[in-house]
Structure 1
Amino acid sequence: MDSASSPPSTGRGVLIVRNAASGTAVLRADPAGTFAERLPEAVVHELADGEDLADVVDAAMESDAAPDVLGIYGGDGSVSRMAHLARRHGRPLLAMPGGTFNHFVRALGVDSVEAAIDAYQAGSTVAVGVAEATADDDEPVTVLNVVSVGAYPELIGERERRTSLGKWIGGVVATAAALRRAEPLTIVSEGRRARVWSVFVSVGRNDPERVATMQRQEAETGVLDVRVHHARGSKVRALASLAFGKRTAAVLRAVRLFPRDEDVERLVVRELDLRVRPEAGHPSVFVHDGELEERAAGGFRLRCVALPGALTVFAPPPAA
Structure 2
Amino acid sequence: MKESGLDIARGQGVLIVRNAASGTAVVRADPADEFAERLPEAVVHELSENESLDDVVAAAMRAATPPAVLGVYGGDGSVSRMAHLARRHERSMLAMPGGTFNHFVRALGIDDVGIAIDALHAGTTASVGVVESIADDDEPVTVLNVVSVGAYPALIEERQRRRSLGKWLGGVAATWTALRSTEPLTIVLDGRRARVWSVFISAGRNDPERVATMQRQETDASILDVRVHHARGSRVRALAALSFGKRTAAVLRAVRLFPRDADVERLLVPSLDLRVTPAPGHPAVYVHDGELEERDPGGFRLRCRAVPDALRVYAPH
TM-score range, shorter chain: over 0.9
Match of 1:242 in 2: 242
Structure 1 residues 81-96: aligned runs within 5 Å: 81-96=81-96
Report SS of the residue matched to 2:109: coil
Is 1:4–1:123's contact at 8 Å kept on the other side of the alignment? no
Is 1:187–1:195's contact at 8 Å kept on the other side of the alignment? yes
Whole-angstrom CA distance in 2 between matches of 1:103 and 1:142 = 15
Match of 1:18 in 2: 18
Q: CA deviation at 1:8?
A: 2.4
Match of 1:190 in 2: 190
Is 1:159–1:174's contact at 8 Å kept on the other side of the alignment? yes
Is 2:243–2:249's contact at 8 Å kept on the other side of the alignment? yes
For residues 272-305 of structure 1, the C-alpha deviation after alignment (integer angstroms, 9 at most, x for no partner) is 1100000111111100000001111110000000
Is 2:77–2:290's contact at 8 Å kept on the other side of the alignment? yes
Whole-angstrom CA distance in 1 between matches of 2:285 and 2:80 = 18
For residues 174-220 of structure 1, the C-alpha deviation after alignment (integer angstroms, 9 at most, x for no partner) is 11111111000000012100000000000010001000000000002
For residues 232-284 of structure 1, the C-alpha deviation after alignment (integer angstroms, 9 at most, x for no partner) is 00000000000010010011111111000000000001001100000111111
Report SS of the residue matched to 1:9: helix
Compared with structure 1, are the counterparts of its residues 277 and 69 closer, same or farther at alpha carbon in structure 2 (3 Å cutoff)? same
- Which amino acid in structure 2 is aligned with residue 66 of structure 1? P
The alignment's TM-score, normalised by the length of structure 1, stands at 0.97
Match of 1:45 in 2: 45
Report SS of the residue matched to 2:10: coil
Tell whether 2:170 aligns with 1:158.
no
Q: CA deviation at 1:4?
A: 8.2
- Which amino acid in structure 1 is aligned with residue 29 of structure 2? A
The alignment's TM-score, normalised by the length of structure 2, stands at 0.98
Report SS of the residue matched to 2:210: coil
Whole-angstrom CA distance in 2 between matches of 1:20 and 1:164 = 19
Is 2:8–2:120's contact at 8 Å kept on the other side of the alignment? no
- Which amino acid in structure 2 is aligned with residue 178 of structure 1? A
Structure 1 residues 83-232: aligned runs within 5 Å: 83-232=83-232
Compared with structure 1, are the counterparts of its residues 261 and 7 closer, same or farther at alpha carbon in structure 2 (3 Å cutoff)? farther
For residues 38-84 of structure 1, the C-alpha deviation after alignment (integer angstroms, 9 at most, x for no partner) is 00100000000121110110011011121000000001000000000
Match of 1:76 in 2: 76
Runs of 4+ in 1 over 3 A off after TM superposition: 3-7
Aligned alpha-carbon RMSD (Å) = 1.3
Gap runs ≥5 in structure 2: none
Q: Percent identity?
A: 75
Match of 2:296 in 1: 296
Whole-angstrom CA distance in 1 between matches of 2:191 and 2:245 = 34
Whole-angstrom CA distance in 1 between matches of 2:70 and 2:3 = 16
Q: CA deviation at 1:7?
A: 4.9
